[in-house]
Amino acid sequence: MKKPKGLKIGLIGSCTPPYTGVTVHVHRLMKKLDECNIDYVLYDVLGVQRENKENRIVCIKHPKLWMIKYFLSTKNEIIHNHTEDWRGQIIVGLMGLLGKKTIATLHSEALINSWRDYNFIIRKGIQIALKSTTSLIVVNSNIKEFCLSIGIDPNKIFLIPAFIPPALEKEEINEIPKDIWDFLDTHYPTLSANAFKIIFFKGEDVYGIDLCIELCYKLKQNWNNVGLIFFLPEFLWEKGDRQYFVYLQQRIIELNLQNNFLFVTQSYPFHPIIQKSSIFIRPTNTDGDAISIREALYFGIPAVASNVVTRPEGTIVFKNRDIDDFTLKVTDLLDNYHYYKQKINSLPFDDNTARILQVYQKVAGMSDIKISD
């Protein structure tokens, strides 16, 4: 990989832990920047105090106030925003409006899903902000189409999936408790799934946790020892989430799945769990570019996901919120497991870091390279 010199990147976001799709992406991007000897600082807006080698991480306790101060002071850095909050997008857009070099990665379809709920002033502010940001990185084609629909210059939009291959680190594996490994070792087939947090969209469970429980019940009719493990970090729950979680636990008891379904509510690395699973499932009713799907395929683990967005090549898709189609696709996969494993193992995989670095060079005026989707 080329090592562009003279770049300094200000990353706005957070890294692992907690282990979420965006924090995993930022964590791995930081490692790649280290490998390329590119100067950067992560401004951690979750306010988590971390081990800080070479002053690479600045803990931000009051992110909105800090962003205004940063907006007024930063001069030399390319600002790369990874936050989803519309207020942060507007502040970064204002930096771009004043001629500062800015990039925003839109990691999910949150803006699309909330667009009609925002009032005219907020929508206009977001539109101006995105137009004023020097370059936008979007992780799927739906987000790209949305940006085009609100008048963003297509020449500044780059469709780059968020997946950066993980380095297998012993420390991450050691973080995972023995009871999780024991669950995976004592069940077959094993399915894994994860959620950023409990969220609803159009009155439905975004991550399809309810569907996972129903799927587990249906699979148990043929595979009595099936095991489904679901990562759902408790620290991100909001008011009212506990009530829904209690409902999910009650449903597990009703279906006699206490020995087959395991919730993990602490934040641990997820990719070692994927590697140990028979299948990864992603029954979301909206999505961005799920890093966990690409991780599963990268490790040769079959993935089954809803058809709400274009999924990576090799993913088996089912009709959104259709438990019968979901069960049918998973059952067919298990019945023909060797065939699907061979199919996945023939897929090519790209490290998207090089394309992100090309965007940095382009924004810095170092290159006019055309960055392909």
Encode pLDDT of 15-55 as tens digits. Answer: 888 888 899 999 999 999 999 899 999 988 887 777 776 67
Do domains 8-164+351-363 and 171-345 share one topology? The answer is yes
| Architecture of the domain delimited by 171-345 | 3-Layer(aba) Sandwich (3.40)
Q: What is the mean pLDDT of residues 103-129?
A: 91
Say how far apart CA 161 and CA 84 lie, in whole Å. Answer: 16
For the entire predicted model, the pTM comes to 0.84
**pLDDT at residue 1 tops 60:** no
**3-class DSSP assignment, residue 44:** strand
H or E element that contains 176: none
Range among 16-20, 110-114, 129-133, 343-347 with highest mean pLDDT value:
129-133
**pLDDT at residue 71 tops 80:** no
Helices (H), the chain: 21-35, 63-73, 86-97, 110-114, 120-132, 141-149, 170-175, 178-185, 209-220, 241-254, 271-276, 291-298, 323-335, 337-345, 353-363
Domain ranges across the chain: 8-164+351-363, 171-345
Banded model confidence at residue 288, pLDDT cuts 50, 70, 90: confident
| Architecture of the domain delimited by 8-164+351-363 | 3-Layer(aba) Sandwich (3.40)
For 239-268, what is each residue's pLDDT tens digit?
Answer: 778 899 999 999 999 999 999 999 999 989
**pLDDT at residue 177 tops 60:** yes
Instruction: Please name which of 48, 9, 47, 49 lies closest in space to residue 29, comparing C-alpha atoms.
Output: 9
